[in-house]
């Protein structure tokens, strides 16, 4: 028996395993990013879901929709921000942005300008607008914050990426999931999965001058923080998610930043709302939150889910009305 014949019993299973791995990779991987591609219009279908008018805590569900699009790059929405004209800007796990108006039948999509074209280079997780007119995007895997001129696309780079040595201990896929800009230009940057020994959330307070302090934020037990937005000068709304094979649930808490802004290290939080698949509101892997302040009427909170580019999940958009005082 030749050497080749002796190896055939091993080569055939190895070849089959390699072929199966390749099929799984090509079928299940997220769609390729639209890096270096121009912005373009896409069709969006919004299907109404039940639950409108129901209340949890201080929130009333105005509407819930499932968003779909034939565009391959649609999905993976992980960060959300609201523009003054009523449109929403989202960033995706593949390093793209999506601009759309709730209820509209179309939107725009494009690529975030940044070095690299791999998943680890382009894993955008949060977006925030600064008072001085910049758009910030937080990325994990390689934890950093990118700055762009203006609020919304085109996202033209403005300055070097912001890195902090404090993020070196954050897990690659559990880092800067949440980002909020304060009125003085300071940033609250919250790690998704880097809790302290007593269970508090690990976060950074980054001052405009670049000085950074590590702070702790009260967690919601059993949940991971997925996004945050500034409510007023000293309070954050933080979105939390529990997404496992057995359970999907979401929660919103309010965090008091006053002790931290006064020089302390701990920001207390309080649970405002919590729901799951058996609750009043639709739920999936909720990862983005945005706040809209209206001239008349109470503020509106938008929530969006990350479908992980999976046919088994949905891109949900929830519109909540704040109907009771939060503080």
- Full residue range of the structural domain in which residue 61 is found: 41-322
Query: In the prediction, which pLDDT does 37 show?
Result: 59
Q: Residue 14 domain-assigned?
A: no
Residue 19: per-residue pLDDT: 40
Task: Say what the pLDDT of residue 314 is.
Answer: 98
Is 27 a member of any domain?
no
How do residues 25-47 score in pLDDT, each as one tens digit?
Answer: 333 444 444 444 578 999 999 99
The pLDDT assigned to 27 comes to: 36
In a domain, 290, yes or no: yes
Residue 209, pLDDT score: 82
Question: What pLDDT, on a 0 to 100 scale, did the predictor assign at position 158?
Answer: 94
- What is the chain's pLDDT, residue by residue, as a tens digit (327 residues)? 444 344 434 444 444 444 443 333 333 444 444 444 578 999 999 999 999 999 999 999 999 999 999 999 999 999 999 999 999 999 999 999 999 999 999 999 999 999 888 888 899 999 999 999 999 999 999 999 999 999 989 888 999 999 999 999 999 999 999 999 999 999 999 999 999 999 999 999 999 887 999 999 999 999 999 999 999 999 999 999 999 878 999 999 999 999 999 999 999 999 999 999 888 999 999 999 999 999 888 999 999 999 999 999 999 999 999 999 887
Indicate the pTM of the whole model.
0.88
CB 126 within 8 A of CB 175: no
The pLDDT of residue 34: 43
- Asked whether residue 10 is domain-assigned, the answer is no
| pLDDT tens per residue, range 210-225 | 799 999 999 999 999 9
Q: How many domains does the chain have?
A: 1
Residue 150 resides in a domain: yes
For residue 91, give the CATH number of its domain.
Answer: 2.115.10.20
194 in any annotated domain? yes
Report yes or no on 296 lying in a domain.
yes
Predicted local distance difference test score (pLDDT) of residue 120 = 84
Judge whether 176 lies within some domain. Answer: yes
């Amino acid at each position: 028996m030749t050497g080749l014949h002796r190896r055939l019993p091993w080569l055939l299973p190895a070849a089959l395993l390699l072929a199966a791995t390749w099929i799984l990779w090509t079928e299940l991987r997220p769609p390729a990013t639209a890096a270096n591609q121009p912005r373009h219009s896409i069709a969006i279908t919004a299907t109404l879901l039940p639950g409108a008018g129901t209340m949890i805590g201080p929130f009333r569900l105005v509407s819930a929709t499932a968003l779909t699009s034939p565009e391959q790059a649609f999905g993976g929405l992980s960060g959300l921000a609201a523009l003054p004209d009523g449109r929403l800007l989202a960033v995706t796990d593949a390093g793209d942005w999506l601009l759309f108006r709730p209820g509209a039948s179309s939107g725009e999509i494009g690529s975030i300008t940044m070095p690299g074209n791999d998943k680890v280079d382009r894993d955008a997780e949060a977006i925030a607008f600064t008072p001085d007119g910049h758009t910030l995007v937080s990325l994990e895997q390689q934890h950093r914050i990118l700055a762009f001129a203006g609020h919304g696309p085109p996202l033209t780079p403005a300055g070097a990426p912001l890195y902090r040595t404090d993020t070196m201990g954050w897990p690659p896929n559990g880092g800067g999931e949440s980002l909020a800009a304060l009125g003085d230009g300071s940033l609250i940057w919250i790690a998704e999965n880097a809790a302290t020994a007593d269970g508090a959330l690990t976060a950074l307070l980054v001052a405009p001058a670049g000085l950074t302090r590590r702070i702790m934020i009260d967690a919601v037990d059993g949940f991971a923080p997925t996004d945050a937005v500034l409510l007023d000068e000293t309070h954050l709304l933080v979105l939390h998610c529990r997404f496992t094979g057995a359970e999907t649930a979401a929660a919103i808490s309010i965090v008091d930043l006053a002790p931290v802004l006064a020089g302390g290290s701990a920001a207390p939080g309080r649970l405002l709302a919590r729901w799951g698949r058996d609750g009043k509101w639709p739920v999936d892997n909720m990862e983005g939150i945005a706040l809209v302040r209206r001239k008349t009427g109470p503020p509106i909170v938008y929530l969006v889910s990350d479908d992980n580019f999976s046919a088994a999940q949905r891109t949900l958009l929830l519109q909540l009305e704040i109907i009771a005082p939060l503080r």
